[in-house]
Amino acid sequence: MDQPRVAGVGLTHFGAHPDRTGRDLFAEAAASAVEDAGVPREDVEALLYGNFIGEVTESQGHQGPLMAEAAGLRVPATRYESACASAGVAVREAVKRLRSGESDVLLVGGAERMHNVGTRGATAGLAMAADDLYEVRAGVTFPGAYALMARAYFERFGGTREDLAHVAVKNHANALENEYAQFRREVTVEEALEAPIIAEPLGLFDACPITDGAAALVLVSGSYAGEHDLDAPVAITGSGQGGDSLALQDRADVARAPATADAAEEAYAEAGIRASDVGFAEVHDCFTIAEVLAIEELGFYEAGEGVGAARDGETTREGDLPVNLSGGLKAKGHPVGATGASQVVEATRLLRGDHPNSDAVPEGAVGLTHNAGGTVASAVVHVLEAVE
Amino acid sequence: MDQPRVAGVGLTHFGAHPDRTGRDLFAEAAASAVEDAGVPREDVEALLYGNFIGEVTESQGHQGPLMAEAAGLRVPATRYESACASAGVAVREAVKRLRSGESDVLLVGGAERMHNVGTRGATAGLAMAADDLYEVRAGVTFPGAYALMARAYFERFGGTREDLAHVAVKNHANALENEYAQFRREVTVEEALEAPIIAEPLGLFDACPITDGAAALVLVSGSYAGEHDLDAPVAITGSGQGGDSLALQDRADVARAPATADAAEEAYAEAGIRASDVGFAEVHDCFTIAEVLAIEELGFYEAGEGVGAARDGETTREGDLPVNLSGGLKAKGHPVGATGASQVVEATRLLRGDHPNSDAVPEGAVGLTHNAGGTVASAVVHVLEAVE
């Protein structure tokens, strides 16, 4: 079985780009990735592209062919959509194709544009990741859904708003030097706690922002990398996906996120590692409580034990297991359909040593990315390792 | 390399179901497919699901997990979207996973609901398969786009509205006995020619209808079928995908559809066949001119020679190469995100001998399905064969 490599990575600045179309954003990220890979454009065999709600924000479906053309390619192109995990499933499908020998060179990525429809439009659009009939029409928005999960967690395991504030503080600190990040400003625990409540117990600093942006990757088979003597020192050694009911009401336990555990189990088995082998992780912190659930379901912490990790310095850049060195969705930003690819970009940069926070990654560390859709009805996990 | 089999098929009635949700429709098709397959539900490893514009028609993205639950499954679930080829790309991805040994049992399908948003809403939604900035805002709807292609074809190669009318007459005749079809009434050439013009030279009978419906398939690896002694006599022996620019303006030639030729070339090579080996085909006749372009690009006819095929009886049920024995999108209907899977359902039934038109399929015939997105910016081709 072939071991796929990350040959090239590309990102736009994450933030507000109300004057730039999705295709404009993706074209920039794709061009960067192709240039970084040093692969002839004509070798790219297909585009696997993630986008969540282009129909709503740009009246644009069928973005696969549109984005292939924006990337200067005339190749088969498919859009993958699993809400906030859209690019994660695209990366996973690419890994499958490269491993099986079906393909040698693939462009993978995603883009999302949301500022152009305003906060109200973006909130309505994001709600489409939840169950329209049984959640949204009952008044549940995404901050509300994660607030329900946080309440259930606090009731069962304990934990405080201050614990969650430490997650935000950590991720903002990590984003300070990240040139692609939407927010490059420190926040304090006091500032986070004093911010307006958006859905009890979550305040403004518990939520990621609305973000426009794009991310792209050139993924190649190990055999192609070898034959073409590519500088592609990062391999994707494991990939897993988990699923759960879309609506919270259909879950056995609102304080857990088992789709993440399923995805991790599969990815670890493929990579031949255990959770304790992971050296750093980019996890899906759309809300601070989501990071807590993620690091537990990924097996880094027992259930109920992850809520103090940031507070105790265990997941900070100085800790034993740095989480979201990029700044995470919280501070780097969350252009929904791009996020899963962006996490792989960041983990690659961290492993290659060309990320501003690479010094927090020990030699030989195993990296992990975790991308979740909705209230973790979808989850995708990838394991990345530096190879010779 | 494993040879994937179609183990089970399921369809809803195609037509107007304004009172049924997408999940309700897909649940029915999925239950039929699982029952037809005789596979334990717990063996199903993932759902690969096609949908085009659920965000617009049902305010519902992230339909993968929703539809998995509707099918009674808690498995990784991904939505694929390539406009009208959404389920086609889902089928193709499933074939890749089964061939490579990544999976043994997959549920694949799609659903679309459009009547609930009315003709205006459906037309606006369908336009999202074209380039919003450079086509739709210039006033191009889908009938308009295909009318441009028909005009270009007529100018270059000749052909008449009457030639196209024969395509509609043929497909309506084929649907007469199909219990799932939206239209089960004969039309005559005269009736088609006298119908209102919707975009010169296309009249009402040159266009497929707006359709609600769902389709599902249980696809299994050949090894699983063997080990479990399944009655799964149809194999998918070839799969191909092609891409083109989204907008017509960026094409070298508006009278051609090269993405179909690319998809066919790949599928034929995999199956080890030539175009002349194909015995019957389900092709993407969203408009009558689309069927003409399809049978040419698939290699059944030279460019400019396909327009008279239906008129001359070559593609009727009595002809040498029956096309759209199901009734096609034209008469059976076109629930957009379901169509690609529905074509594989119909080809399977035709090969198994349990389709009302199976008697038009000679013993040992090779079947083909062709699913196109937008103005053939995406195209997917599958080859199906009866095996021992």
User: Which residue on chain A is closest to B244 by alpha carbon?
Assistant: A74
Is B115 assigned a catalytic role? Answer: no
Which of B64, B97, B378 has the CB atom closest to A64's CB atom? B378
For the residues B275-300, what does the mean pLDDT come to? 98
pLDDT of residue B355: 97
Say how many CA atoms lie within 13 Å of B313 toward its Cβ.
2
Q: Which helix (H) or strand (E) holds B338?
A: none
Is residue B234's pLDDT more than 90?
Answer: yes
pLDDT of residue A388: 75
One digit per residue, pLDDT tens: chain A, 388 residues? 789 999 999 999 999 999 999 999 999 999 999 999 999 999 999 999 999 999 999 999 999 999 999 999 999 999 999 999 999 999 999 999 999 999 999 999 999 999 999 999 999 999 999 999 999 999 999 999 999 999 999 999 999 999 999 999 999 999 999 999 999 999 999 999 999 999 999 999 999 999 999 999 999 999 999 999 999 999 999 999 999 999 999 999 999 999 999 999 999 999 999 999 999 999 999 999 999 999 999 999 999 999 999 999 999 999 999 999 999 999 999 999 999 999 999 999 999 999 999 999 999 999 999 999 999 999 999 999 999 7
Q: Which residue, among B58, B267, B286, B268, has the nearest Cα to B164 in the 3D structure? A: B286
Quote the tokens at residue A179.
């040139």
Phi, psi of B239 (to 5 degrees): -145, 135
CA distance A113 to A77: 20
CA distance A336 to A53: 9
CA distance B237 to B215: 21
The complex scores an ipTM of: 0.97
pLDDT in tens, B101-152: 999 999 999 999 999 999 999 999 999 999 999 999 999 999 999 999 999 9
3-state percent breakdown (helix, strand, coil) of chain A, nearest 5: 45, 20, 35
Contacts of B250 in chain A (CB under 8 A): 69
Is residue A127 in a domain? no
Q: Which residue, among A322, A302, A298, has the nearest Cα to A310 in the 3D structure? A: A322
Would you say A310 and A301 are in contact if contact means Cβ atoms under 8 Å apart? no
A-proximal residues of B, 23-82, CB under 8 Å: 46-47, 52-53, 55-56, 58-62, 64-66, 68-69, 74-82
b/e map A225-262, b = 16+ CB within 10 Å:
beebebebbbbbbbbbbbbbbbbbeebeebbbbbbbbb
* Contact (CB<8Å) A378/B133: no
Contacts of A130 in chain B (CB under 8 A): 62
Q: Which residue, among A378, A15, A346, has the nearest Cα to A185 in the 3D structure? A: A15
CA distance A50 to A30: 13
* Contact (CB<8Å) A245/B64: no
Q: Which of B166, B334, B355, B370 is catalytic?
A: B334
CATH of the domain at A12: 3.40.47.10
Beta bridge partners of A76: none
Contacts of A74 in chain B (CB under 8 A): 243-245
* Contact (CB<8Å) A377/B79: no
b/e map A268-282, b = 16+ CB within 10 Å:
bebbebebeebbbbb
Q: CA of A248, closest CA in chain B: separation in Å? A: 12
pLDDT of residue B12: 98
Is residue A132 in a domain? no
User: Which residue on chain A is closest to B80 by alpha carbon?
Assistant: A80
Coil/strand/helix, residue A248: helix
Name the percent of chain B lying above pLDDT 90.
Answer: 98
- Find tokens 């309506």 and name the residue: B172
B-proximal residues of A, 161-220, CB under 8 Å: none
B-proximal residues of A, 239-258, CB under 8 Å: 241-246, 250
DSSP 8-state symbol, B109:
E
The predicted model scores a pTM of: 0.98
3-state percent breakdown (helix, strand, coil) of chain B, nearest 5: 45, 20, 35
pLDDT of residue B2: 86
Q: B157 exposed, middle or buried (CB, 10 Å; 0-12, 13-18, 19+)?
A: middle
pLDDT band, residue B261 (cuts 50/70/90): very high
DSSP A292-303: HHHHHHTTSS-T
Is residue B160 in a domain? no
Would you say A261 and A297 are in contact if contact means Cβ atoms under 8 Å apart? yes
Coil/strand/helix, residue A38: coil
pLDDT of residue B1: 76
- Whether A83 has its CB under 8 Å from any CB of chain B: the answer is yes
pLDDT in tens, B154-186: 999 999 999 999 999 999 999 999 999 999 999
Is residue A225 in a domain? yes
User: Which residue on chain B is closest to A239 by alpha carbon?
Assistant: B102
Q: Which of A284, A334, A370, A382 is catalytic?
A: A334
Name the percent of chain B lying above pLDDT 70.
Answer: 100
pLDDT of residue A167: 98
Residue type, A239: S
Quote the tokens at residue B216.
């599902």
Is residue A130 in a domain? no
Quote the tokens at residue B329.
């999108």
* Contact (CB<8Å) B378/A59: no
Q: CA of A65, closest CA in chain B: separation in Å? A: 5
Beta bridge partners of B345: none
Q: Which residue, among B200, B183, B67, B210, has the nearest Cα to B143 in the 3D structure? A: B200
CA distance B121 to B129: 14
Look over chain B and give the mean of its residue pLDDT values, rounded to a whole number: 97
Q: Which residue, among B62, B72, B105, has the nearest Cα to A379 in the 3D structure? A: B62
Is residue A123 in a domain? no
Contacts of A97 in chain B (CB under 8 A): 96
Through-space distance between the first and last CA atoms of chain A, rounded to whole angstroms: 17
Is residue B315's pLDDT more than 90?
Answer: yes
pLDDT of residue A118: 93
pLDDT of residue A251: 96
Report the number of distinct structural domains present in chain A. 1
Contacts of A242 in chain B (CB under 8 A): 76
Is residue A134 in a domain? no
* Contact (CB<8Å) B74/A244: yes
pLDDT in tens, B72-82: 999 999 999 99
Is residue B67 in a domain? yes
CA distance A341 to A294: 18
pLDDT of residue A2: 86
Contacts of A82 in chain B (CB under 8 A): 62, 64-65, 77-79
Phi, psi of B47 (to 5 degrees): -115, 130
Would you say B48 and B108 are in contact if contact means Cβ atoms under 8 Å apart? yes
Quote the tokens at residue B17.
């179901």
Q: Which helix (H) or strand (E) holds A352?
A: helix A339-352
pLDDT band, residue B388 (cuts 50/70/90): confident
For the residues B269-280, what does the mean pLDDT come to? 98
CA distance A176 to A183: 8
Quote the tokens at residue A264.
């991790």
Is B172 assigned a catalytic role? Answer: no
User: Which residue on chain A is closest to B69 by alpha carbon?
Assistant: A245
pLDDT of residue B384: 98
Q: Residue B22's domain spans which residues?
A: 5-118+209-386
CA distance A368 to A299: 12
> Across chain A, where does the E strand assignment appear?
5-11, 46-50, 77-81, 105-112, 197-199, 202-203, 213-220, 234-243, 278-282, 366-373, 378-386
Q: A113 exposed, middle or buried (CB, 10 Å; 0-12, 13-18, 19+)?
A: buried
Q: Could you tell me which residues come within 8 angstroms of residue A66 by beta carbon, excluding any fewer than 6 positions away? A: A23, A60, B131, B246
DSSP 8-state symbol, A377:
T
DSSP 8-state symbol, B320:
S
Phi, psi of A256 (to 5 degrees): -130, 170
For the residues B14-25, what does the mean pLDDT come to? 96
